[in-house]
């Protein structure tokens, strides 16, 4: 078999998402489980997005608008950029793939942090690209080390800000200093999947940094605060030259009819975003406090999840929590940690109570 694929695909471990609720039901028969494993919005999507999806269902025999004209127009107003600077993906995940597949060859090199969004490594390995995974320091991006890992072959640096799974962020000062240190030929992708959740005053809005660095790409998604993870809609904002190249590789109908309709409607429901952020802010504080009272370490988070260091093998804790009907996310690269999404008040209470029992 191993002659069929390049060695880096041979060595690849598939992405493991959070355990689906249905799978837990199949395995343990638990019907009322709570899933706090994939950083989904516990409030669900905006009612306006749901309504738009229902309205669009009748037309699913039609191919989607390959240019996503209406969504592009609405988003370009929303962001204050030209429509030609937007590239849509089936999740921002697909834009990450497009970046690597369009701009790198096996002779090239990409850089990201370790840990960071696990798809960076998977996509790089799948493309057979060389990469450096630069360890974080004190639970945050070590941007000086990331810059130092850039070589003459480096085409792309991926920074998730905030970082998943850490929940921490790089400040505006740190990021500007970093951009100054990067050769201007390198593409820097700022992955802002959790942008809307951040309230730190020194968090840099990637859109404003675009004027500071020519080859900056900002990645955003409808999967997290917009609550549309199941429809797969994300996008990148990039210089038009880069968008043009990625478009040559992009599958024409990557953003399906329902995703386009839902995302368009979701952009008009600022109240839903605000409500979601406010719930998260309050619950994140109380979850963090309650977990610390259990004697575990909680990394200060700017996102809709917290990284928890249990200071023991996390796998048995994860398994025992499943039996309590609580799904969190184990993180193989951090064997003493779990990542826990902030849910509703009752979901969080269930999680904390379960963990209290499991930790004994």
Ligand X SMILES: *Cc1c(COP(=O)(O)O)cnc(C)c1O
231-250 positions binding ligand X, by CB under 6 A: 234
Return the number of the residue (15 or 63) whose C-beta is nearest ligand X.
15
Q: Give the span between the Cα atoms of 75 and 307, in whole angstroms.
A: 32
14-22, 60-68, 86-94, 104-112 -> range binding ligand X (CB under 6 A) = 86-94
Give residues 4-63 in contact with ligand X (rule: CB under 6 A).
39
The answer to whether 271 and 279 have CB atoms below 8 angstroms apart is: no
Tokens of 83: 């429509």
> Closer CB to ligand X, residue 108 or residue 192?
192
Candidate segments 21-29, 75-83, 85-93, 177-185, binder of ligand X by CB under 6 A = 85-93
Report if residue 206 touches ligand X, rule: CB under 6 A.
no
Q: Is residue 310 a contact residue for ligand X (CB under 6 A)?
A: no
Q: Which residues are bridge partners to 216 per DSSP?
A: 188
Q: Taking CB under 6 A as the rule, does residue 229 contact ligand X?
A: yes
Residue 248 C-beta: closest distance to ligand X, Å: 21
Residue with tokens 């390959």: 66
Measured in degrees and rounded to the nearest 5, phi and psi for residue 297 equal -90, 135
Name the minimum Å distance from CB 360 to ligand X.
32
Work out whether 258 is an interface residue with ligand X (CB under 6 A).
no
Tell me the residue nearest to ligand X as measured from the CB: 91
Beta strands in the chain (DSSP E): 34-35, 86-89, 109-114, 130-135, 154-160, 187-191, 216-221, 234-237, 297-298, 305-309, 326-327, 329-330, 337-341
Contact between 41 and 226 under an 8 Å Cβ cutoff? The reply is: yes
Closest distance of CB 305 from ligand X, Å? 9
CB of 119 to ligand X, least distance (A): 7
Which window, 88-96, 197-205, 271-279, 325-333, contacts ligand X (CB under 6 A)? 88-96
Q: Residues 95 to 154: which contact ligand X by CB under 6 A?
A: 117
Q: Residues 46, 132, 140, 164: which binds ligand X (CB under 6 A)?
A: 164
Both tokens assigned to 141: 């991006």
Judged by CB under 6 A, the number of residues near ligand X is 13
Sorted by sequence, the CB contacts under 8 Å of residue 267 that are 6+ apart come out as 74, 75, 78
- Contact range with ligand X by CB under 6 A, out of 4-12, 16-24, 87-95, 271-279: 87-95
Tell which phi-psi region holds residue 85, choosing left (phi > 0), alpha (psi between -120 and 50) or beta: alpha
Residue 273: φ, ψ to 5°: -65, -45
Rounded Cα–Cα distance for residues 8 and 127 (Å) = 8
Q: Which is nearer to ligand X, 142 or 191 (CB)?
A: 191
Interface mask (CB under 6 A) for ligand X, residues 184-203, using x and -? -------x-x----------
CA torsion angle for 292, 296, 300, 302 (degrees, to 10)? -90
Choice between 99 and 358, CB closer to ligand X = 99
Q: Note whether 54 and 231 are within 8 A (CB).
A: no
Among 37, 49, 71, 93, binds ligand X (CB under 6 A): 93
Query: Least distance (Å) from ligand X to the CB of residue 33?
Result: 21
- Alpha carbon distance 242, 185 (integer Å): 12
Contacts to ligand X by CB under 6 A: 39, 91-93, 117, 160, 164, 191, 193, 221, 223, 229, 234
């Amino acid at each position: 078999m191993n002659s069929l694929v390049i060695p880096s695909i041979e060595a690849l471990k598939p992405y493991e998402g959070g355990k689906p609720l249905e799978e837990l039901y199949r395995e343990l028969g638990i019907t009322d489980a709570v899933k706090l494993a994939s950083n989904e919005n516990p409030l669900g999507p905006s009612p306006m997005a749901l309504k738009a999806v229902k309205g669009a269902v009748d037309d699913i025999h039609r191919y989607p608008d390959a240019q996503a004209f209406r969504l592009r127009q609405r988003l370009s107003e929303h962001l204050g950029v030209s429509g030609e600077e937007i590239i849509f993906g089936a999740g921002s995940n697909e834009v990450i793939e497009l970046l690597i597949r369009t701009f790198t060859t096996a002779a090239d090199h990409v850089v990201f942090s370790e840990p960071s969004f696990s798809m960076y490594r998977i996509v790089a390995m799948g493309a057979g690209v060389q990469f450096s995974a630069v360890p974080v320091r004190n639970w945050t991006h070590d941007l000086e080390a990331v810059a130092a890992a850039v070589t003459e072959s480096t085409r792309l640096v991926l920074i998730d800000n905030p970082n998943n799974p850490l929940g921490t962020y790089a400040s505006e000062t740190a990021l500007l200093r970093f951009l100054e240190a990067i050769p201007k030929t390198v593409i820097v992708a700022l992955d802002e999947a959790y942008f809307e959740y951040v309230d730190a005053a020194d968090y840099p809005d990637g859109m404003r940094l675009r004027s500071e660095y020519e080859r900056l790409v900002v990645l955003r998604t409808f999967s997290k605060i917009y609550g549309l993870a199941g429809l797969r809609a994300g996008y990148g904002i990039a210089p038009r030259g880069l968008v043009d190249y990625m478009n040559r590789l992009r599958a024409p109908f990557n953003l399906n009819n329902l995703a386009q309709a839902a995302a368009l409607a979701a952009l008009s429901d600022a109240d839903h975003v605000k409500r979601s952020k406010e719930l998260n802010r309050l619950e994140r504080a109380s979850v963090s406090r309650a977990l610390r009272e259990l004697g575990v370490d909680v990394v200060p988070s700017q996102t809709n999840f917290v990284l928890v260091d249990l200071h023991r093998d996390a796998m048995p804790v994860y398994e025992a929590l499943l039996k309590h009907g609580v799904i969190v996310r184990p993180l193989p690269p951090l064997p003493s940690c779990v990542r826990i999404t902030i849910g509703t008040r009752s979901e969080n209470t269930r999680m904390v109570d379960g963990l209290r029992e499991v930790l004994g």
